[in-house]
A and B are shown apart, each in its own frame.
Chain A
Amino acid sequence: MMAIDLPIIWAFIIAFAVFVYVVMDGFDLGLGILFPLFPEKRDRDVIMNSVAPVWDGNETWLVLGGGGLMAAFPLAYAVLMPALYTPMIVMLLGLVFRGVAFEFRWRTQRERNRWDIAFAGGSLLATLAQGIALGAVLQGVHVEGRQYAGGWWDWLTPFSILTGVSLVIGYALLGATWLVMKTEGALRDRAYRLSWFLLIAMLGAIGAVSIATPFLAVQYTQRWFTWPNIILTAPVPVAVAAVTVLLLRALANKYDYQPFFLTLALFALSYAGLGISMFPYIVPQSITIWQAASPANSQLFMLFGVAVLIPLILGYTVWAYWVFRGKVKPESGYH
């Protein structure tokens, strides 16, 4: 048992689940954020239809992230959730509004606009709350013993607002490039123009967060800028620059698929940067993954399930996306 370090494996599994969530629900929430910019009913129907078959699966990764955290790192779950109390509640309520809108908006003529607002507002709130929660974790929380010991409003700082706004911009870019991939005609042209604007905003956001993060706590500065760490950390910004160039080229050439997947690459790099900053803490500055870990027999018991089931889940998820592949047609004969 000494040979394998289970908490490290589980840290990667949880990080993977959260990243898959960001990949899948990111564009999904992004579509909601962009919804007010597409006032035409025809466009809105297409946007909804492009994601209706998969949204539920997308959000299941969030449940795995939360459930997995409770199972593998119960102490971290128990400290972080009260610390992030308000953003979490707001996120959940936002997800309620946007989730039900997928079916509700087809069930009513008169109140459709109301559910479109619920979809857009819920998506925006949920994203903002996720981004704020991320910032609140990065800046550290006050822990005493095995409990959160801070106040009810500790999460609210300029930094957490910055990460909240950044995530809104990022998800919106994912949504716009998703539309480039999944739609045609005027709607697609609109999505292209939005992608340009959002990409520039996202680069600004990545820059701002990158500059602000090392000043939050000593650990982050040492992690990124001291020798020999810099050999390992320097490639991250270099890769961000390279992906940005490719993304600009893909937008200029009006490619279908590249903008979306290159945006995902930008997210992956930013995410790797977060990992570099945080490791090995799961609650920055207070609790490491080893301190928070469940006993080995709990982590091992779940590892069997994960090893067998995650590949299977990824398999049928890919199949579901494949079934609904291609451009979404605008005509809607039903309802």
Chain B
Amino acid sequence: MFEGWDAVVLARAQFAFTMSFHIVFPAFSIGLASYLAVLEALWLWTGREVFINLFNYWLKIFAVAFGMGVVSGIVMSYQFGTNWSAFSDKTGPVIGPLMAYEVLTAFFLEAGFLGVMLFGLQRVGPRLHFLATLMVAIGTLISAFWILSANSWMQTPTGHAFNAEGQFVAADWLKVIFNPSFPYRLVHMVLAAYLTTALVVGAVGAWHLLRDRHLAGPRVMFSMAMWMAALVAPIQILAGDQHGLNTLEHQPVKIMAMEGHYQSHKDGAPLILFGLPNQAAGRVDYAVEVPKLGSLILKHSPDAPMAGLDTVPRENWPPVPITFWSFRIMVGMGLLMLALGLLSLLMRWRGALYDSRLLHMFAIAMGPAGFIAVLAGWITTETGRQPFTVYGLLRTAESASPLAAPAVASSLIAFIIVYFVVFTAGVIYLLRLMAAPPHPGEQGPSHEVPIRTAGITPAAGAAAEGAVR
């Protein structure tokens, strides 16, 4: 079985599959950890019971999602060695330390304080517990820092040299870590995580408001989520634009693929809105395009010349149809998020934030939009830098392990079966948790008998206030 298959293609499929499943959970938990820290801070500050109820409500959801992120993440840390051993040997001296720092500064921090965050409120008291929540939230952000640095170095490698064995070695660690695309990618991804979480929180709030618009918890979470959508969606679009300009400077071929620019344009490139990229013929069929707008957006001048893929050797072409379409899906999601944010501002201004069924239905429909955008964005950037693992320097085909196709195919099938079984169940449990509204006296994920409730209020005075809510 699988004898005729290409082991490299199978290894790529395996990485894409396991990575796509994994990234969904960190994207959600980065945002959710920060949201939980905000909720707990608001509870400590105001003493209002609604905040601790929301905290406990989302904490249970966080526990399930975080667990799935951890187990799918352990898989990733070994995937480099099992399927990409040549890549590991050659780049280990450079990106290995970045990932080791991620483990040391982020994973341990998250894991070390997670237990106290989930189960320890009654054991350590509110203040120390808040510290634990804060550490978990900071840990998720530090993790994003290191892993995006490593990924960005693979996209825009700087600060390296080669040794006698042909390995990449670091010549300047600061240049390796703060490589040219890293700041843009970091901002873009963290904002994406925040937006993703805000859209989920907003959808859950809207779902419960549709049934009962007077519920305290859903009102608070919906309002907070819509503020996030209204504020962060426009910032994200600006950040994405800047990231695109940075890509144009350092990975122009990726931009050609995203834009569908097979041909060079001497006096102003069009913006192709839609079309069917035809990789074999090297053109976009049925293109719907706006003349000169491409040059205007990317070069800020309508007549600026733009090179196309006809200036690039064919063996260095990325798979344009995938890059082209995933980019459009991401941008489309972003524009819908902007629309949701603007509609929420309008409804808020008219005093109808909690009453507008239209807004609530729109928010529910947008619940998964963040995940779709994150996946589409990563597919854009990862397919757009093909056929290289280290851009321009190490080809994907030269990065794989010396494995026969049957080995890679069997493990790929095993991953597909296990992930569908496990993560389908997990998503069902998550949706089930979200389907029940948060209620007064909401319990966290602790499996023990709660000690008296009074023991967990932040201050004696706050307890009285919390009771009247």
A interface list, Cβ under 8 A from B: 45, 48-49, 52-54, 56-57, 59-60, 62-64, 66-72, 74-75, 77-82, 85-86, 88-89, 92-93, 95-97, 99-100, 102-104, 106-108, 111, 146-149, 152, 294-295, 297-298, 301-302, 305-306, 309-310, 313, 316-317, 319-320, 323-324, 329, 331-335
Query: Of all chain A residues, which has the CB nearest B70?
Result: A56
Q: Looking at the complex, which one of A75, A95, A313, A333 makes contact with B448 (CB distance below 8 Å)?
A: A333
List the A side residues contacting B411 at CB < 8 Å. Answer: 85-86, 89
On whether the beta carbons of B112 and A317 are closer than 8 Å, the reply is yes
On whether the beta carbons of B64 and A309 are closer than 8 Å, the reply is no
State the Cβ distance, A7 to closest chain B Cβ, in Å: 13
CA distance A80 to B80 in the complex (A): 12
State the Cβ distance, A275 to closest chain B Cβ, in Å: 21
Q: A72-B96, A99-B70, A99-B71 are in contact. Are A334 and B450 (CB under 8 A)?
A: yes
On whether the beta carbons of A294 and B68 are closer than 8 Å, the reply is no
On whether the beta carbons of B74 and A92 are closer than 8 Å, the reply is yes
Q: Looking at the complex, which one of B89, B111, B112, B115 makes contact with A75 (CB distance below 8 Å)?
A: B89
List the A side residues contacting B73 at CB < 8 Å. Answer: 63
A-B pairs with lowest CB-CB distance, top 6 = A74-B92, A71-B96, A81-B81, A53-B115, A78-B89, A333-B449
Give the contacts of B96-115 with A (CB-CB under 8 A): 96-97, 99-105, 107-115
Interface readout for B103-143 with A: 1 if CB under 8 Å, 0 if not?
11101111111111011100110000000000000000000
CA distance A305 to B142 in the complex (A): 14
Q: Is B248 an interface residue (CB 8 A)?
A: no
List the B side residues contacting A99 at CB < 8 Å. Answer: 67, 70-71, 74
Q: Is B467 an interface residue (CB 8 A)?
A: no
On whether the beta carbons of A95 and B118 are closer than 8 Å, the reply is no
Q: Is B336 an interface residue (CB 8 A)?
A: no
State the Cβ distance, A24 to closest chain B Cβ, in Å: 11
Q: A64-B104, A80-B81, A302-B100 are in contact. Are A100 and B449 (CB under 8 A)?
A: no
On whether the beta carbons of A66 and B81 are closer than 8 Å, the reply is yes
On whether the beta carbons of B70 and A74 are closer than 8 Å, the reply is no
CA distance A199 to B344 in the complex (A): 65
Q: Is B86 an interface residue (CB 8 A)?
A: yes
Q: Is B251 an interface residue (CB 8 A)?
A: no
On whether the beta carbons of A298 and B88 are closer than 8 Å, the reply is no
Interface readout for B318-347 with A: 1 if CB under 8 Å, 0 if not?
000000000000000000000000000000
Query: Of all chain A residues, which has the CB nearest B176?
Result: A301
Q: Is B201 an interface residue (CB 8 A)?
A: no
On whether the beta carbons of B111 and A297 are closer than 8 Å, the reply is no
Q: A57-B114, A88-B82, A95-B74 are in contact. Are A298 and B96 (CB under 8 A)?
A: yes
State the Cβ distance, B419 to closest chain A Cβ, in Å: 8
CA distance A310 to B112 in the complex (A): 12
On whether the beta carbons of B70 and A77 are closer than 8 Å, the reply is no
Query: Of all chain B residues, which has the CB nearest A84?
Result: B82
On whether the beta carbons of A93 and B96 are closer than 8 Å, the reply is no
Query: Of all chain A residues, which has the CB nearest B18?
Result: A92
On whether the beta carbons of B118 and A53 are closer than 8 Å, the reply is yes
On whether the beta carbons of A52 and B447 are closer than 8 Å, the reply is yes
CA distance A66 to B80 in the complex (A): 10
Would you list 21 pairs from A and B whose C-beta atoms are within 8 A, ordered by A residue?
Answer: A49-B448, A63-B103, A66-B81, A67-B103, A72-B96, A74-B90, A82-B81, A89-B82, A104-B429, A107-B429, A146-B165, A147-B402, A295-B163, A301-B170, A309-B108, A313-B104, A313-B108, A324-B123, A331-B448, A331-B449, A333-B448
Q: Looking at the complex, which one of A70, A152, A316, A333 makes contact with B81 (CB distance below 8 Å)?
A: A70
On whether the beta carbons of B414 and A89 are closer than 8 Å, the reply is yes
Q: Is B167 an interface residue (CB 8 A)?
A: yes
On whether the beta carbons of A66 and B77 are closer than 8 Å, the reply is yes
State the Cβ distance, B200 to closest chain A Cβ, in Å: 17
State the Cβ distance, A211 to closest chain B Cβ, in Å: 32
Q: Looking at the complex, which one of B63, B71, B124, B445 makes contact with A95 (CB distance below 8 Å)?
A: B71
Q: Looking at the complex, which one of B88, B99, B104, B112 makes contact with A306 (CB distance below 8 Å)?
A: B104
On whether the beta carbons of A74 and B96 are closer than 8 Å, the reply is yes
On whether the beta carbons of A152 and B124 are closer than 8 Å, the reply is no
On whether the beta carbons of A97 and B418 are closer than 8 Å, the reply is yes
Kindly list 11 other residue pairs between chains A and B, CB separation below 8 angstroms, not including A67-B103, A78-B85, A298-B169.
A53-B120, A56-B110, A56-B115, A70-B80, A70-B81, A70-B100, A82-B85, A147-B402, A298-B97, A309-B108, A324-B120
Interface size on B, residues (CB 8 A): 79
List the A side residues contacting B286 at CB < 8 Å. Answer: none
On whether the beta carbons of B448 and A329 are closer than 8 Å, the reply is yes
CA distance A71 to B67 in the complex (A): 26
On whether the beta carbons of B115 and A305 are closer than 8 Å, the reply is no
List the B side residues contacting A316 at CB < 8 Å. Answer: 109, 112-113
On whether the beta carbons of B407 and A60 are closer than 8 Å, the reply is no
On whether the beta carbons of A59 and B169 are closer than 8 Å, the reply is no
List the A side residues contacting B380 at CB < 8 Å. Answer: none
List the B side residues contacting A64 at CB < 8 Å. Answer: 100, 103-104, 107-108
Q: A81-B81, A298-B97, A316-B113 are in contact. Are A107 and B92 (CB under 8 A)?
A: no
Interface readout for B157-173 with A: 1 if CB under 8 Å, 0 if not?
00000010101011001
CA distance A111 to B163 in the complex (A): 55
Give the contacts of B425-443 with A (CB-CB under 8 A): 425-426, 429, 432-433, 443
Count chain A CB atoms within 10 A of each CB in B94, B101, B447 and give the residue with the most.
B447
State the Cβ distance, B138 to closest chain A Cβ, in Å: 13
Q: Is B312 an interface residue (CB 8 A)?
A: no
On whether the beta carbons of A298 and B86 are closer than 8 Å, the reply is no
List the B side residues contacting A79 at CB < 8 Å. Answer: 85
Query: Of all chain B residues, which has the CB nearest A70?
Result: B96
List the A side residues contacting B93 at CB < 8 Å. Answer: 71, 74, 294-295, 298
On whether the beta carbons of B64 and A107 are closer than 8 Å, the reply is yes
List the A side residues contacting B415 at CB < 8 Å. Answer: 89, 93
Q: Looking at the complex, which one of B169, B425, B450 makes contact with A104 (CB distance below 8 Å)?
A: B425
CA distance A66 to B79 in the complex (A): 10
Query: Of all chain B residues, which has the CB nearest A150?
Result: B402
On whether the beta carbons of B445 and A103 are closer than 8 Å, the reply is yes
Q: A59-B74, A92-B74, A100-B68 are in contact. Are A148 and B402 (CB under 8 A)?
A: yes
